[in-house]
Amino acid sequence: MQMGQLKRSLAATLTGATQVLCVAGMLLLGTLPAQAQQSVADSLAQYRQMLADDNPAELSEAKGAALWKTARGPRHVSLEQCDLGAGPGVVKGAYVVLPRYFTDTDRVQDLESRLVTCMTTLQGFTVAEASKSPFAASSDMQALVAYVAGQSRGLKMAAGATHPKELHAIAIGKSIFNYRAGTHDFACATCHGESGKRIRLQELPNLRERADAQATYGTWPGYRVSQGEVRSMQHRLWDCFRQQRFPEIQYNSEAMISLMAYLANNAQGGVYNAPSIKR
Ligand code: HEC
């Protein structure tokens, strides 16, 4: 089936539905002929393959590496003494053990919130300055994330899951994942709680299931072709909150980090492979 036909058949499936029914209808696109679904999935896979040898995220990684070493902020120091969990200055393997509990801040932190900690304690930025416009075009924060994340490629994911605050975060994240609300009465679980669901042409990972969680969590940050930017896990979740018609989730908030802790916990043991390429 050609793309045009496919679109028309999708349109026919959805015509006349209210917005709510419309999205419900999208979730039922199992009604598309299996062959058509397969050919769409195949072309998306081919497209990724074509770009994989030349991922623009590498430019962000290089920019992030330079930023890491550059003296910045009121104190004019670099981030080279930043402790991401494995000790001051250790970047290799840092991403795969996040989020985790940090004694100095007495909270569970992911990479972005930890970078903000380092930018404030080492470089002298205020929290507001350090967390300003993290999702802006060519953002420094996303470049730093790409750099640090890239230093964990090929390592096993092992986010913190022993400290009571880590366990608490995972539990909160799980309840956020299952919490239905908003104009559409959606939860993350509505779209990501069962295998084999799709919206339009996109397969939806079942984030409760280990293999899908590993393949998903382990491939962020990614260069999003549709946006022309490297995007972190936080950005992805922020975007899904929006898609879910929920109020905006705050950057580096406890809710955000708990949701990440839950997803990272479901992805334990998977091999990390990012920055990747995403749609
Ligand atoms: C209305 C359905 C819907 C809801 C609700 C929803 N998502 Fe998504 N989610 C999507 C779609 C569609 C994509 C794929 C988007 C794309 O590729 O552009 C996606 C992508 C993702 C991804 C990245 C998948 C990948 O392949 O890398 C993650 C992680 C994710 N969502 C998590 C969540 C979380 C957590 C929630 C709850 C806050 C949530 N989503 C709520 C539809 C939804």
Q: Tell which residue, 237, 262, 252, has the closest CA to residue 128.
A: 252
Is the CB of 238 within 6 Å of ligand 1?
Answer: no
Phi, psi (rounded to 5 degrees) for 271 = -90, 130
For the residues of 119-130, what is the DSSP string, one character each?
A: HHHTT---HHHH
Alpha carbon distance 255, 173 (integer Å): 7
Is the CB of 251 within 6 Å of ligand 1?
Answer: no
Q: What is the DSSP letter of 182?
A: T
Catalytic site includes residue 240? yes
Fold of 56-279: Cytochrome Bc1 Complex; Chain D, domain 2 (1.10.760)
pLDDT of residue 112: 98
Tell me the CA–centroid distance for residue 222 and ligand 1, in Å: 14
pLDDT of residue 203: 87
Q: CA end-to-end span of the chain, whole Å?
A: 22
Rg of the chain, C-alpha, whole Å: 20
pLDDT of residue 3: 37
The sign of the dihedral angle between the CA atoms of 176, 182, 187, 191 is: negative
Task: Answer for the pair 257, 112: CB distance below 8 angstroms, yes or no.
Answer: no
- Residue whose Cα lies nearest atom 17 of ligand 1: it is 279
Task: Answer for the pair 262, 175: CB distance below 8 angstroms, yes or no.
Answer: no
Task: Answer for the pair 57, 146: CB distance below 8 angstroms, yes or no.
Answer: yes
Alpha carbon distance 143, 65 (integer Å): 8
Query: Which amino acid type is present at position 155?
Result: L
Q: What is the DSSP letter of 206?
A: -
Catalytic residue among 22, 188, 191, 240: 240
- Residue whose Cα lies nearest atom 43 of ligand 1: it is 191
Tens place of pLDDT per residue across the chain (279 aa): 343 343 333 333 333 333 333 344 444 444 455 666 666 667 667 766 766 668 899 999 999 999 999 999 999 999 999 999 999 999 999 999 999 999 999 999 999 999 999 999 999 999 999 999 999 999 999 999 999 999 999 999 999 999 999 999 999 999 999 999 999 999 999 999 999 888 877 889 999 999 999 999 999 999 999 999 999 999 999 999 998 999 999 999 999 999 999 999 999 999 999 999 998
Delimit the domains of the chain by residue range. Answer: 1-54, 56-279
Alpha carbon distance 91, 224 (integer Å): 24
Is the CB of 243 within 6 Å of ligand 1?
Answer: yes
